[in-house]
Amino acid sequence: MSKFDRETYAGNQRISADQPRSPVQLYIFVNVFMSAAAQVRLTPRISDGLTFSQGQTMNVRVPVVGQPVPTVTWIKDGTELLTEAGRREVWLEDSCAVLNITHCRRTTDRGVYGIRVENNLGIDEATFAVEITGELSHHRLRVPYLSLTVNSRPRSEASDGAVLTVCIDSIDSRR
């Protein structure tokens, strides 16, 4: 009776067969291909929603798995998100789908984002919300014969427009 012994190596399976009291040993090497359906693995931080400041870079890394490696499609508000060189880019890196948007804009970049992964074994999708908040800025405005310091901030985080509240901190009327 033969005794079979299996040892697993990275990507290969080695099977040996021993005959008791026999100097002959047989080895068979077989490549093992693992297959897995595409899957999105949103972290709790992402699935709870993300907040970025206007002008900040939004960098979202979503773990994805699948063999063969899945194709990734990013979606915003139900429409496929198109790349924009230098501002909106996507790539795969270290088993993560990456979405990078520089200089976030409140009016165009906030919304419901989605990620869709697909390979020949399956499709998976997930969505998350992104909010872009206004930024507090300090500006020095110079007018001939009048100098004033202006602090500006959006009137309301819920406001869609560029509504600005202006407070005059000081006025210097010297020439």
Residues 142, 154, single domain; the answer is yes
Residues 70, 20, single domain; the answer is no
Q: What count of other Cβ atoms lies within 10 Å of the Cβ of residue 121?
A: 14
Higher pLDDT, 138 or 172: 172
pTM as predicted? 0.60
Given pLDDT bands bounded at 50, 70 and 90, which one contains residue 43?
Answer: very high
First to last CA, the chain: 107
Q: Average model confidence (pLDDT) for the chain?
A: 77
Residue pLDDT, tens place only, 119-132:
999 999 999 999 99
Q: Examine the pLDDT at 110 and tell me if it is beyond 60.
A: yes
Residues 50, 121, single domain; the answer is yes
Instruction: For residue 166, give Cα distances in angstroms to 50, 135, 137.
Output: 28, 14, 11
Instruction: Domain of residue 43: give its range.
Output: 36-133
Which element (helix H / strand E) includes 153? Answer: strand 146-154
Residues 25, 90, single domain; the answer is no
Q: Tokens 């210097």 correspond to what residue?
A: 172
